[in-house]
């Protein structure tokens, strides 16, 4: 499976982000932090991330591998950009005039 395909699937980035600190989390804790994700989707994403060698089963739960931690390191600047974008005032640009219908 291509990495970008996996990253584009619902819940994948959430799982990676919840594990970004490098500490293992149990399925139950991951499920609680991703309350909008069904257990079956979470289970599937964990399986796919393990197959992609980004996630591993560790003592205490699931944890990112070295490759997973590196990926998250590259996602952090995108998160900072998104936080700035979300708090930026709306653009002052005026919308274009609507097209005229000529009969």
pLDDT tens, residue by residue, 6-62? 999 999 999 999 999 999 999 999 999 988 899 999 999 999 999 999 999 999 999
Q: What's residue 86's pLDDT? A: 87
**Is 72 inside a domain boundary?**
yes
**Is 84 inside a domain boundary?**
no
> Would you give the distance in Å from CA 57 to the centre of its chain?
19
More confident residue, 79 or 97: 79
**Domain span holding position 14:** 3-77
**Is 83 inside a domain boundary?**
no
Q: How many folded domains does the chain comprise?
A: 1
User: How far lies 64's CA from each of 16, 18, 67, 98, in Å?
Assistant: 7, 10, 8, 50
14 contacts 34 by C-beta, under 8 angstroms? yes
Locate 7 and state its tokens.
């990253």
Average pLDDT over residues 70-86: 91
**Is 98 inside a domain boundary?**
no
Predicted TM-score (pTM) of this structure: 0.79
Query: In this structure, what CATH number is given to the domain that contains residue 54?
Result: 1.10.10.10
**Is 11 inside a domain boundary?**
yes
């Amino acid at each position: 499976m291509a990495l970008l395909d996996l990253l584009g699937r619902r819940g994948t980035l959430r799982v990676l982000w919840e594990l970004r600190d490098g500490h293992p989390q149990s399925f139950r804790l991951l499920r609680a932090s991703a309350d909008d994700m069904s257990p079956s989707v979470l289970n599937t994403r964990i399986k796919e991330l393990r197959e992609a060698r980004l996630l591993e089963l560790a003592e205490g739960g699931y944890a990112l591998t070295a490759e997973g931690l590196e990926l998250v390191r590259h996602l952090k600047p995108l998160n900072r950009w998104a936080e700035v974008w979300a708090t930026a005032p709306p653009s002052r640009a005026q919308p274009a005039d609507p097209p005229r219908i000529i009969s």
